[in-house]
């Protein structure tokens, strides 16, 4: 087939066919799942989804609220043995948690020695008691002397005193160190700079999680407990103590953890779910506001801090506005052409 002239030039047949194919491939679908009004990343963008696309993405929204929310400051903590042990219905304090693992091994050895001293003292008491009973019997039968009986009675008194002393030495060493692996609860020791203590609500429960856990990660509540005064003068810190349940065995003795301690001040601020916040390439923070059915507008927000799974905002959409809390990443990808 001959080429057809075009403005004085001949266009080859294969070039005509290629142009027709390109036009066919570039044709837009009649009913696209999303219409995006393009904008620069630093500007506001609007996304209009079809009802089917919104359902497929699983979009969910949550209202912007204004409420008082308590901030928390995260400190590094260490899981230690409980510092109290029940003895005769009373609570005594132990110095064991302040020791290093090597020192704890030495304490465990001392505990074993103390328990053996108790057993030895009890054996001596039993022997002295048998001797006293024999001396009293012989004295009653006029076959022994009162002097022997008195000496036997004195030996019983000394043996009883040895038993009491051995028990007292053992109590000073606290709960058995070798039983720590089976503990269903730990204490958390948190060194805090003395200048921060007045701003902390030390009577409130703390939240314990991983030392390097991401923001919004799951934590476990720990209640404050009384303990002997403990501080580090060189570091200008004092120790706060919390009791942490360990029913599932998720924590280990000596483990380092992150401890979120609430601050005393409560303030009323704009709050949205942390899952509603997305970041751009420059670190800016945004949310998608649901302004109409299947219509979502990207709004800039200023995040002050994160408390649990909520983001406290310095600025953002008005109270009552609905923001996307699920499928935020999908909307962001749709807007900038990196999603399907």
The enclosing domain of 315 has a CATH number of: 2.40.420.20
pLDDT at 147: 85
pLDDT at 228: 78
19 occurs within a structural domain: no
Q: What domain range is 241 assigned to?
A: 72-82+182-262
Considering the domain architecture, whether residues 193 and 318 belong to the same structural domain is answered as: no
DSSP H helices, the chain, are: 13-25, 51-57, 101-140, 146-172, 328-336
- Of the candidates 330, 268, 279, the one whose C-alpha atom is nearest the C-alpha of residue 301 is 279
pLDDT at 3: 47
Considering the domain architecture, whether residues 78 and 204 belong to the same structural domain is answered as: yes
The enclosing domain of 193 has a CATH number of: 2.40.30.170
5 occurs within a structural domain: no
Considering the domain architecture, whether residues 226 and 107 belong to the same structural domain is answered as: no
Helix or strand holding residue 68 (H, E):
strand 65-80
Q: At a CB cut-off of 8 Å and minimum separation 6, what does 21 contact?
A: none
pLDDT at 338: 66
pLDDT at 91: 40
Considering the domain architecture, whether residues 129 and 253 belong to the same structural domain is answered as: no
| Tens digits of pLDDT across the chain (340 residues) | 444 554 444 555 555 555 555 554 455 555 666 666 555 554 567 889 988 988 998 999 999 999 888 788 889 998 887 765 444 444 434 445 555 556 666 777 788 888 889 998 999 999 989 988 888 888 888 877 888 888 888 998 999 999 999 898 888 877 676 555 456 888 899 999 999 999 999 999 999 988 777 766 788 899 999 887 888 899 999 999 999 998 777 888 778 999 999 888 777 889 999 999 999 888 899 999 999 999 999 999 999 888 778 899 989 999 999 999 999 999 988 888 765 4
**How many C-alpha atoms does 175 have within 13 Å on its Cβ side?**
18
126 occurs within a structural domain: yes
Q: At a CB cut-off of 8 Å and minimum separation 6, what does 197 contact?
A: 238
Question: What are φ and ψ of residue 312, in 5° steps?
Answer: -90, 125
Considering the domain architecture, whether residues 235 and 161 belong to the same structural domain is answered as: no
Instruction: Tell me which of 212, 231, 262 is where a domain ends.
Output: 262
- In total, how many domains does the chain have? 3
pLDDT at 1: 47
Considering the domain architecture, whether residues 76 and 209 belong to the same structural domain is answered as: yes
- Of the candidates 58, 45, 51, the one whose C-alpha atom is nearest the C-alpha of residue 336 is 45
Instruction: Tell me which of 262, 296, 326 is where a domain ends.
Output: 262
């Amino acid at each position: 087939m001959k080429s057809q002239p075009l403005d004085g030039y001949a266009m080859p047949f294969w070039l005509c066919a290629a142009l027709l194919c390109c036009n066919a491939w570039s044709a837009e679908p009649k009913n696209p799942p999303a219409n995006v009004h393009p904008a620069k990343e630093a500007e506001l963008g609007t996304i209009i989804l079809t009802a089917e696309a919104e359902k497929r993405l699983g979009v969910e929204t949550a209202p912007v609220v204004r409420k008082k929310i308590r901030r928390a400051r995260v400190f590094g903590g260490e899981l230690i043995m409980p510092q109290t042990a029940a003895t005769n219905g009373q609570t005594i304090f132990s110095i064991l948690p302040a020791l290093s693992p090597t020192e704890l091994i030495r304490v465990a050895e001392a505990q074993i020695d103390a328990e053996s001293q108790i057993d030895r003292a009890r054996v001596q008491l039993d022997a002295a008691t048998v001797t006293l009973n024999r001396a009293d019997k012989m004295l009653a039968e006029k076959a022994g002397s009162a002097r022997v009986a008195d000496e036997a009675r004195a030996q019983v008194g000394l043996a009883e005193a040895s038993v009491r002393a051995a028990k007292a030495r053992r109590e000073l060493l606290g709960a058995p160190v070798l039983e720590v692996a089976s503990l269903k609860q730990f204490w958390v020791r948190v060194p805090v700079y003395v200048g921060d203590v007045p701003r902390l609500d030390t009577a409130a429960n703390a939240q314990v999680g991983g030392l390097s856990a991401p923001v919004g990660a799951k934590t476990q509540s720990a209640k404050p407990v009384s303990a002997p005064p403990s501080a580090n003068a060189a570091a200008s810190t004092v120790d706060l103590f919390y009791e942490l349940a360990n029913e599932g065995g998720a924590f280990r003795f000596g483990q380092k953890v992150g401890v979120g301690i609430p601050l005393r001040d409560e303030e009323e601020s704009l709050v949205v779910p942390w899952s509603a916040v997305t970041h751009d390439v420059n670190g800016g923070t945004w949310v998608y506001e649901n302004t109409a059915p299947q219509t979502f507008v990207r709004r800039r927000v200023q995040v002050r801090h994160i408390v649990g799974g909520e983001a406290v905002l310095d600025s953002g959409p008005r109270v009552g506005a609905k923001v996307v809390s699920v499928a935020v990443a999908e909307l962001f990808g749709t807007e900038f052409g990196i999603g399907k």
